[in-house]
Amino acid sequence: MSETMDKTYTDLNTSPRTLLGPGPSPAHPRVLRAMATPLIGHLDPQFISVMTDVQELLRYAFQTQNLLTIPVSGTGSAGMEAALCNFIEPGDSVLVAVMGYFGERIVEIAGRYGAMVDRLDAPWGTVFEPGQIRDALDRKKYKLLALVQAETSTGAGQPGIAEIAAAAHAAGTLVVLDTVTSLGTMPVKIDEWDVDVAFSGSQKGLSCPPGLAPLTVGERAREALRARKSPVANWYLDLVAVEKYWGQTRTYHHTAPISMNFALREGLRMLAEEGLEARWARHEENAHMLWDGLEAMDLGLLVEKPHRLPALTTPRLTEGIDDAAVRRTLLNEYNIEIAGGFGPLAGTIWRIGLMGHGSRKENVVMLLGALREILKR
């Protein structure tokens, strides 16, 4: 192979897209400016201070006092894996409530760590009655129950988290909750609901680029971690070791993504400035505006109104609509990105995200106007 490159590369020059899909959402300009802050070392006293700020702000976002509340270095999928691999040992019985693609992913990850996985299934686009999960917990002893609060593949939000968690704890079962799409867009109340482990992602409701996975672990789960009979089967995500970096000793474990932590700190600071109640209300108001506009175009919605996510809307495609062609036109002519369905919903829905900085009235007006023009052609 030649040691000289024959090809030259131009400066990076991407189109200014409006990201209205299931993620990533638009990063706020303040977040991008924070991300451009000059680098410092991952053990620099100033970065240690940033780490402390991030943990405090994450506790506010999750509504928890959990000491072990950190951003995992990785995307939301790393958060999912950390939330599972630390509490699963080979042979453990795990129950997963599956109502879409990300429940399916939990099943796969848990199985790879040796869990004996039972699944409880709901049709894509629907949710579980808490009693369905309670009945499954009554039938068999499980170490861990995992479920998704906001299923990004369908736009459905699981109700009754507190009731489900209470049933799990009555059965001696830990609760792991996926809040990747819900954190920062709708109520997430980890302490009030008594959830043991929750994880999220930086790229949706927190208005940041992808790259960090907020994670919070309660005392019940920490006791289970301390009681493990075998080492955590993932060195990078081993919370026993990672906690020493984020805890009082600040012992080196890995080089944290410095710039992403700068970004997350700013995104969380903006969340605190706006206030959780106001943030949730903004997402709800803009979602209703979108729903009304879609229904005015005779595009029905997949999910029943009580269970719709304010951050992710899934309109059904009527006969004659070319899914891929419409999305391609939105991207090429309007610089707007939305996503299609996948799995059993492929070709039948769109997935439209109004998350974090992307949840703005002007984005709703722009998207609805573009769709009207395209669908009239």
Among 293, 294, 370, 290, which Cα is nearest to 337's?
370
Instruction: Report the amino acid identity of residue 50.
Output: V
- C-alpha dist (Å) from residue 147 to 100, 105, 106, 208, 274: 10, 11, 8, 24, 29
Query: Taking the domain 29-272, which CATH number applies?
Result: 3.40.640.10
Please report where in the chains the tokens 């410095």 appear, as a residue: 258
pLDDT at 249: 87
Element at 311 (helix H, strand E)? none
- pLDDT at residue 62 above 90? yes
- C-alpha dist (Å) from residue 281 to 93, 148, 301, 351: 39, 21, 21, 21
Grouping H, G, I as helix, E, B as strand and the rest as coil, residue 316 is strand
Query: Taking the domain 18-24+276-375, which CATH number applies?
Result: 3.90.1150.10
Assign 137 a pLDDT band (cuts: 50, 70, 90): very high
- pLDDT at residue 184 above 80? yes
pLDDT at 277: 99
Backbone torsions φ then ψ of 175, nearest 5 degrees: -120, 125
Assign 129 a pLDDT band (cuts: 50, 70, 90): very high
Judge whether 18-24+276-375 and 29-272 match in fold: no
C-alpha to C-alpha distance for 178 and 96, rounded to whole angstroms: 11
- pLDDT at residue 2 above 90? no
- pLDDT at residue 365 above 80? yes
C-alpha to C-alpha distance for 167 and 135, rounded to whole angstroms: 9
CA angle 73, 78, 83 (to 5 degrees): 110
Element at 160 (helix H, strand E)? none
Assign 1 a pLDDT band (cuts: 50, 70, 90): confident
Burial pattern 128-140, b for ≥16 Cβ within 10 A else e, equals: bebeebbebbeee
Q: What average pLDDT does the segment 347-370 reach?
A: 98
pLDDT at 165: 99
Mean pLDDT of the chain: 97
- pLDDT at residue 177 above 80? yes
pLDDT at 4: 84
Full-model pTM: 0.97
Assign 210 a pLDDT band (cuts: 50, 70, 90): very high
pLDDT at 377: 84
Token reading at 2: 């030649």
Task: Map out the domains of the chain as residue ranges.
Answer: 18-24+276-375, 29-272
- Helical residues (DSSP H) of 86-172, grouped into ranges: 101-112, 130-139, 161-170
pLDDT at 224: 98
| pLDDT above 70 coverage of the chain, percent | 100
Q: Which residues pair with 145 in a beta bridge?
A: 95, 175
